[in-house]
Structure 1
Amino acid sequence: MTAESTRIDFRYLSEPDMIRAGVTDIAACVGTMEEALVLLADGDYRMAGASGNSHGAQINFPAHPDHEGMPADGPDRRFMAMPAYLGGRFRAAGVKWYGSNTENRKHDLPRSIHLFILNDADTGAPKAVMSANLLSAYRTGAVPGVGVKHLAVQGATTVGIIGPGVMSRTILSAAISQRPGIRTVKIKGRSAGSTERAAQWIRDHHPQLTEVRIVDSEQEAVEGSDILIAGTSTSPDGPSGFPYFRADQLKPGALLLMPAAARLDDDFVRSDRANLVVDYTGLYSEWYEENGPDVTYEQLLGIPGNRWWDMYKEGSLPREKLVNIGDIAAGRAPGRTDDGQIFCYSIGGMPVEDVAWACDLYDRAVADDIGTTLNLWETPELR
């Protein structure tokens, strides 16, 4: 081999570089996530673990470490690696690596700090190293956006948000990109200051809205809303502290977007009124196998799909009631057939989504020469 053929360069993309490459283009991201979710349903992917469905590998810490300097357990205190391969036109591998600690907010830092590495699927060579907080945030918002595209009523005008953090804001942006007739947003938050900041962010970024209103109760957020967003983390109180979507408060035709902790009554989940959709059943199956039947959904992330999978495994919910959004997008499973149906969409989040959006941003960066090209080697010292 010549020195030229063994040379490996990769592109470094800072957060400003990622913005220039289009990471905040939520409508484009929804389209890319739709492709990724169809490929998932097709089986053209791999994630970690023997089944290829693992969310990733996580480092947790003991509550009382024996060793000086070791971090102690705390809210959202972990390190995590999320590797994946995605086929189709993407045909690439990558890994998102991040550290998370709620205490970061005291230092004006995000709760979690993300980095993404994109690799050539054949050689394994790095193609890019990317700042990934925005990558992760926007793909997280766009996956529910695919649900809005296929499951929300066409004339949706009102969105209710319980937990108006960053995730809920990008989900709202995705929803508006798919249903531009949205005009009213109702917000229920935990603290007055952060809720008002979220409301002002929404007003500033979506001036076409006619009303952005802070409400005092979950019931006010739920009632009359065409689209509902659950954006709170797990609660030390368990499910009693999760956003509660009471069946009798749901508007006919409502779409529930649940990428975080949320609670539904089991009787409603089993009923014909509830149409259950997940981002991908393989993820919930793997979470169940990794953690065992004694670890319930409220001990994981509080995501409803984990509860639904528990119900399936205990024999109280038919397996066929859980439908992949990718199968709906591909036309293999029915979506909305009338404006009275209620859809409950559970989103766990998967690294294949990061791979897909990273690929598109990398291609834009190369085309527009965004970022910094760095050299790994001219010729490897050991081979």
Structure 2
Amino acid sequence: MLILGAGEVRAVLDTAQQDVLTAVRTAYELHARGLTAVPHSVFLRFPDDDRNRIIALPAYLGGQHPVSGVKWVSSFPGNISRGLDRASAAIILNSMESGAPEVFLEASAISARRTAAGAALAAATLSSSTPDTGVTLLGCGLINFEVLTYLRTALPSIDTVTLYDLDATRAESFADKALARWPELKIDVAQRAEDALTAHKLVCLATTASTPHLGTEYCRPGTLVLHLSLRDLTAESVLSSVNIVDDADHVCRAATSLHLAEQQTGHRDFITSSIGEILVSGKPYVRDEDTLTVFSPFGLGCLDLAVADLVRREALARGLGASLPGFLPSGEQLFA
């Protein structure tokens, strides 16, 4: 068993933005071609607790280097007030020959960066008729910081950022951190969500909202909303937009905004396409400048496997991680 802790995983990922984008794109394309297996995620919830949850995402990713495994990821929003990360995660990769677990990875960075890479890839793919030069980030936590990191790679035209968070201190802290990393950026902290939504035609929502609280009436026509947290937008906003997803069966579950829209209408005709189908088509996509486009990715487990396998391969090449011989029983031990 190879064990890769947070330090080793980040040592690989910190300089691998383009490789992660490529891995995520390949996974989306393989999924669109039917070369994945992605069972529905299992949500572990707790009695009298509607905020905290732990989710299991099993998956198989085909292609040149098939890989299978599972991500076990928790979301405990109260951690933020205690100075801890909201989410924590681990991934197990299994042998495709024997099925035995062979790699155990700390996966919080994998989870966050595949989310960010998927958002940045969507922003680059669902392009505007005029290049996006600014982005609004609602929710000033780890995910949107990673989104900004990957947008800087996928859309180098981005030079202006508008921030909004219910906690103004978090927004200011985010701005300081971003300016320290990218001093050339122009960053503004909005006092109202409405002002932030109006500022740019590229908007990313990464909040801890559990129920819809936001309409899109303040967004400009032609805006692309990266709806990463899945429960911010009202069903009415979803129904009035062009909707792109990663997988309709996955995203229309667990009281997401799209699930509520489906319950309201009794159908999924409001979903236009998946990001994988658009990528596989090979045709340039230009979003409608007269309406809004909403990208709602559930976050498929095959994306986590793609990034985890990238980390595994690079870690082995660098000699990173710790090997734990004897983790699995031998045949003799089984029958002793």
Quote the offset at 1:127 in angstroms: 2.6
2:42 maps to what in 1? 57
Amino acid of the residue matched to residue 92 of structure 1? V
Amino acid of the residue matched to residue 22 of structure 2? G
1:11 maps to what in 2? 2
1:254 maps to what in 2? 223
Quote the offset at 1:134 in angstroms: 0.5
1:6 maps to what in 2? none
- Find the aligned partners of 1:23 and 1:45 in 2 and give their Cα distance: 27
Residues 1:305 and 1:121: Cα distance change in structure 2 (over 3 Å): farther
Q: Give yes or no for contact 1:141–1:171 (8 Å, CA) kept in 2.
A: yes
Residues 1:203 and 1:340: Cα distance change in structure 2 (over 3 Å): farther
Aligned positions of 1:86-97 closer than 5 A? 86-97=61-72
1:360 maps to what in 2? 310
1:371 to 311, 321, 326: 321
TM-score computed with the length of structure 2 as normaliser: 0.89
- Find the aligned partners of 1:20 and 1:262 in 2 and give their Cα distance: 33
1:327 to 277, 293, 309: 277
2:91 to 110, 116, 126: 116
1:228 to 203, 219, 222: 203
Give structure 1 stretches of 5+ with no counterpart.
1-9, 49-53, 64-72, 292-299
Quote the offset at 1:90 in angstroms: 3.4
- Find the aligned partners of 1:333 and 1:279 in 2 and give their Cα distance: 18
Give structure 2 stretches of 5+ with no counterpart.
none
2:147 to 161, 171, 181: 171
Q: What is the aligned-residue identity percentage?
A: 24
2:258 maps to what in 1? 305
Quote the offset at 1:107 in angstroms: 4.1
Residues 1:333 and 1:233: Cα distance change in structure 2 (over 3 Å): farther
Residues 106-135 of structure 1 show CA distances to partners (whole Å, capped at 9, x for unaligned) of 543222221111111231122311111111
C-alpha RMSD of the superposition = 2.4
2:112 maps to what in 1? 137
Quote the offset at 1:382 in angstroms: 1.6
1:336 to 286, 291, 295: 286
Residues 1:111 and 1:250: Cα distance change in structure 2 (over 3 Å): closer
1:25 to 13, 16, 24: 16
Q: Give yes or no for contact 1:152–1:253 (8 Å, CA) kept in 2.
A: no
1:7 maps to what in 2? none
- Find the aligned partners of 1:24 and 1:146 in 2 and give their Cα distance: 17
1:278 maps to what in 2? 245
1:161 maps to what in 2? 137
Residues 1:340 and 1:334: Cα distance change in structure 2 (over 3 Å): farther
Q: Give yes or no for contact 2:251–2:297 (8 Å, CA) kept in 1.
A: no
1:83 maps to what in 2? 58
Quote the offset at 1:378 in angstroms: 7.6
Residues 327-369 of structure 1 show CA distances to partners (whole Å, capped at 9, x for unaligned) of 1111167621676664211111121111010011101011111
Aligned positions of 1:201-220 closer than 5 A? 201-209=177-185, 211-220=186-195
Residues 301-322 of structure 1 show CA distances to partners (whole Å, capped at 9, x for unaligned) of x4x333443355x14x626x43
TM-score computed with the length of structure 1 as normaliser: 0.79
Show structure 1 runs of 4+ deviating over 6 A.
Answer: none
